[in-house]
Amino acid sequence: MRLDLSADVADLTAAIVDIESVSGNEKELADAVEAALRALPHLTVERVGENVIARTGLGRAERVVLAGHLDTVPLNGNLPSRVEGDRLYGCGTTDMKSGVAVALKLAATVTEPTRDVTYLFYECEEIEAERNGLRRLAASRPELLAGDFAVLMEPTAALIEGGCQGTIRVEVAARGERAHSARAWMGSNAIHKAAEILDVLRSYEPTRPVVDGLEYREGLNAVFVRGGVAGNVIPDECVVTVNYRFAPDKTLDEAEAYLRTLFAGFDVTVTDGSPAARPGLTHPAAAAFVAATGAEVRAKLGWTDVARFSELGVPAVNYGPGEPTLAHTKDEFVEIPLIADCERRMRAWLTA
Amino acid sequence: MRLDLSADVADLTAAIVDIESVSGNEKELADAVEAALRALPHLTVERVGENVIARTGLGRAERVVLAGHLDTVPLNGNLPSRVEGDRLYGCGTTDMKSGVAVALKLAATVTEPTRDVTYLFYECEEIEAERNGLRRLAASRPELLAGDFAVLMEPTAALIEGGCQGTIRVEVAARGERAHSARAWMGSNAIHKAAEILDVLRSYEPTRPVVDGLEYREGLNAVFVRGGVAGNVIPDECVVTVNYRFAPDKTLDEAEAYLRTLFAGFDVTVTDGSPAARPGLTHPAAAAFVAATGAEVRAKLGWTDVARFSELGVPAVNYGPGEPTLAHTKDEFVEIPLIADCERRMRAWLTA
C-alpha cells in the first residue's frame, strides 16, 4: 500500500484509516508512512521499531515537533471508512489518523518551514505504557524528541489543550488489631479507623491553580478500598488507594510530600505516579502557534503523552481536528472541513 | 476398643482421648460409646450417623439433656494423652472429652435420676455447620433434643455460661457515579460516600442488655469493605459488610430491623444470621442446676450450639471442666481434679 501525499488531506485521512493498525499491528502503516517520507528529499528519515521520524535540517533558530500515534483501539465493525455528507466515519478517523494526515501533508508540502520541524509517528499509544513508542524513544533516543515546542495532534475539537495534570497513586493503610467479632473490644477495627482517611478526602477542597495563564483543577479521590479477614474477625488492616491529580505547579515529589502531610499518622506507600507538564505557552514558538491557529487555549486535565516531552524539557500542547468525545466509539467520525482547516492553520504557523 | 465406664472419670477421659476422633473420623469412638451405653439396662440407646443418644424413661416431671461433641480439631503431635502432675495433656482433653467422660460416667452410674435425662453425643462440631451432628438431629429428629433444660459440656473453666448472643451480617452499599478520576467532579465517589456508613459504626455505643440476670455486650463492626473499579476511575459502589452481635433480648428479625433503621438511605442486604439464645435460668431445672453446681453464672457472648436447643424451645447453658483458653492449642490439657469435681456437682444435681 502506497500513500499519496499529494492527495487532498481528507482523502489522505481515508487512505490511512483504511490501513488497519490496531495497537501492535502498526507495521503496514509504518512501512507506508516511511516509504512516503523517504521519497521527500528535504527530510531525513529514521525508522525505530514501528516508529518513523522525519526531520528538516535547515539550521533554523528553533525546532518544533509534530507528533502523532499510528495505532487505534480494536475495530468495532467500523472499517473500511465511509463518507456521509461532511463526515468521514471509521476506526481512527478522530483518534487520531486525521491528525496524522495533517502532519504528513505538512511534511510533504512545507519544504522550507521558518522553524525546523521533526515529524514523529509512533506506535502503541492506546495500550499499556511499557509499549508506548514515544515513551520508548524518550528513553532510548531522546535526541529524536528534542525541540523548543511540541504539538501532539490528538483530537481536541480544535482547541489548544496546554500541558497536563500529573497523577500519583498512594496506598494509605489504617492498622488495627484482630479479635473475634463477638468480643470486638479486645481488638481494634482498622476499617473503622479508615474512616479518618475518608474524612480527609471528604473535607478536601479542590484547588484551581493557574499556570502560564491556564486554570487547572486538582482532584483527590479514593479509587479503591479493601479490608477484612473473615466474617467473624475484627480486621487489622484497611487500605485506601488514593489518586491525586495535581496541576503543573507541583513536581511529582511535591505531590508525594503533600499526600504524606495530609495522611500523617497512616502508612503511605506510593504505587505509581507521572509528573505534570507545564503548558510552556510563554515560549515564542508556542505563542506563535497560538496566534497562528487562533484557537482557544485551555488546560489539559488528564494525563497525556505531552508529559513525555515535558520530562525532556520540551513544552507541548495537544491540538488536532478530531472530536475527543467520539474517540474509542463505534461511530467515531471526523468533520472533513476541520481537517483542512487544521492543515491551513498549522501551515500558516510553520511558514509565517 | 471397649470403654470401661466403671473406671475413674480421669482414666475414662484418657481412654476417650486416646481414641483419635478428628472431625469426620468419629466412627471408632461413636462405636465404643454406643457399645458401652447399650450395656446399661436403664437406658434406651439410638444411633444416628455417628451420633449416639441414650435416654432414661422414668416418667419424671422434667427431662434434661446433657450433650457433648465427640470430635476434635486436627492432631498437633499431641496424642496419646499423658499425665503430668494434676494435668492430663492431649488433643481433646479440654475441648471436650473430659466433659464427654463426665456425661458417660453419670449415664452409667445415675440409674435413677430425679429428672429424666437424655445423653447426647454428636459429631462434627469443630467444622462447617452443615455437617454439625446437633444441627442435623435438630432438623431430622427434633424429638431427640426435647427437654426442659440442656447442658452443653463445652469447656467453661467451671463457670456456667448462659444463653448466647445472636449474629447477623449485612452488606451495606453506598452508590455513586463513575467518572474519569481526572474529572472527578463529573462523577460521585461511592467510597467517600461510604464514610457515612463508617460514621454510624464509629458513633455506635455498645449496649449491655441484662437478660435473665446476665449482662450481655453487643457489638457492631465492619468486617469487610470493598470498592473500586480501576486506578483512574471514580468508583460507583462501595460495600461495607457489617457484623452485628446482639443480645437475646432481640429476635433475629428485630436485629435486622434495627440495622435497616441504622443504615436508612443505603442498600442493606442480609447475608446470614443466627438467632440469640436466652439463658432460660428462670426455669426450675436450670435454677436447680445453678444451685447444685454452685458455679458463677455469666453471659455467653459468642454464638454456640446452645442456640440450636434454644431454637427448639429448650433453654441451655455451657458448663464443663475444661479451660476454654486452651481449646485448639497444641498444649491443651485439663486439670484432673476439676473433672471429678464437675462429675460430683452434676451428680448432686441429678440426684437431688
- Could you tell me which residues are beta bridge partners of residue B40? none
Q: Is the pLDDT of residue A9 over 90?
A: yes
Q: Is position A125 annotated as part of the catalytic site?
A: yes
Q: Is the pLDDT of residue A295 over 90?
A: no
Which amino acid belongs to residue B348? A
pTM of the model: 0.79
Q: Is the pLDDT of residue A14 over 90?
A: yes
Q: Which one of A223, A232, A328 makes the best mutation probe of the B interface by having the most chain B beta carbons within 10 Å? A: A223
Residue A6's alpha-carbon distances to A28, B110, B287, in angstroms, are 20, 111, 104
* pLDDT tens digits, one per residue of A89-129: 999 999 999 999 999 999 999 999 999 999 999 999 988 88
Residues of B in contact with A303 (CB under 8 A): 182
* Domains, in order of start, for chain A: 9-164+277-351 (3.40.630.10), 166-274 (3.30.70.360)
- What is the grid cell recorded at B172? 451495606
The answer to whether the CB of A261 falls within 8 A of the CB of A250 is: no
The reported pLDDT for the residue numbered B179 is: 87
Determine the Cα–Cα distance for residues A158 and A321; give it in Å rounded to an integer.
Answer: 5
Q: Which residue has the cell 472530536?
A: A323
Residues of B in contact with A230 (CB under 8 A): 223
Peptide bond into A80 cis (omega under 30): yes
Answer whether A224 sits within 8 Å of B235, measured CB to CB.
yes
Answer whether A302 sits within 8 Å of B240, measured CB to CB.
no
Answer whether B185 sits within 8 Å of A219, measured CB to CB.
yes
Percent above pLDDT 70 for chain A:
100
Residues shown for chain B: 352
Name the catalytic one among B26, B34, B95, B125. B125
* pLDDT tens digits, one per residue of A60-92: 999 999 999 999 999 999 999 999 999 999 999
- CA nearest neighbour of B142 among B338, B347, B311, B323: B311
Determine the Cα–Cα distance for residues B6 and B40; give it in Å rounded to an integer.
Answer: 12
Answer whether A192 sits within 8 Å of B198, measured CB to CB.
yes
Name the catalytic one among A26, A34, A50, A71. A71
Secondary structure (DSSP) of B134-168: HHHHHHH-GGGG--SEEEE----TT-EEESB-EEE
Residues of A in contact with B180 (CB under 8 A): 302
The answer to whether the CB of A122 falls within 8 A of the CB of A51 is: yes
The reported pLDDT for the residue numbered A315 is: 87
The reported pLDDT for the residue numbered B180 is: 85
The reported pLDDT for the residue numbered B136 is: 95
Contact residues of A toward B, CB < 8 A: 165, 167, 169, 180-185, 189, 191-192, 194-195, 198-199, 201-202, 206, 217, 219, 221-235, 238, 240-241, 243, 245, 272, 301-303
Contact residues of B toward A, CB < 8 A: 165, 167, 169, 180-185, 189, 191-192, 194-195, 198-199, 201-202, 206, 217, 219, 221-235, 238, 240-241, 243, 245, 272, 301-303
Q: Is the pLDDT of residue A222 over 80?
A: yes
* pLDDT tens digits, one per residue of A301-338: 888 899 899 888 898 999 999 998 888 889 999 999 99
Chain A residue with minimum CA distance to B230: A223
CB atoms within 10 A of CB A242: 26
Q: Is the pLDDT of residue A1 over 80?
A: no
The reported pLDDT for the residue numbered A293 is: 87
The answer to whether the CB of A233 falls within 8 A of the CB of A181 is: yes
Answer whether A167 sits within 8 Å of B182, measured CB to CB.
yes
Residues of B in contact with A165 (CB under 8 A): 182
Residues of B in contact with A241 (CB under 8 A): 228, 231
Answer whether A183 sits within 8 Å of B301, measured CB to CB.
yes
- What is the grid cell recorded at B144? 431427640
B245 → closest Cβ in A165, A169, A181: A181
The reported pLDDT for the residue numbered A128 is: 82
Determine the Cα–Cα distance for residues B205 and B220; give it in Å rounded to an integer.
Answer: 9
Determine the Cα–Cα distance for residues B25 and A168; give it in Å rounded to an integer.
Answer: 55
The reported pLDDT for the residue numbered A88 is: 98
Chains A & B: contacts with CB separation below 8 Å = 152
Mean pLDDT confidence for A163-191: 93
Q: Which one of B201, B225, B269 makes the best mutation probe of the A interface by having the most chain A beta carbons within 10 Å? A: B225
Q: How far is B104 from chain A (nearest CA, A)?
A: 32
Residue B139's contacts (CB-CB under 8 Å, 6 or more residues apart) are: none
Residues of B in contact with A192 (CB under 8 A): 198, 201-202, 221-222
Tens-of-pLDDT digits for all 352 residues of chain B?
A: 799 999 999 999 999 999 999 999 999 999 999 999 999 999 999 999 999 999 999 999 999 999 999 999 999 999 999 999 999 999 999 999 999 999 999 999 999 999 999 999 999 998 888 899 999 999 999 999 999 999 999 999 889 999 889 999 999 999 999 988 888 998 999 999 999 999 999 999 999 999 988 999 999 999 999 999 888 889 999 999 999 999 999 999 999 999 999 999 999 999 999 899 888 888 888 899 999 888 899 998 888 899 899 888 898 999 999 998 888 889 999 999 999 999 999 999 999 8
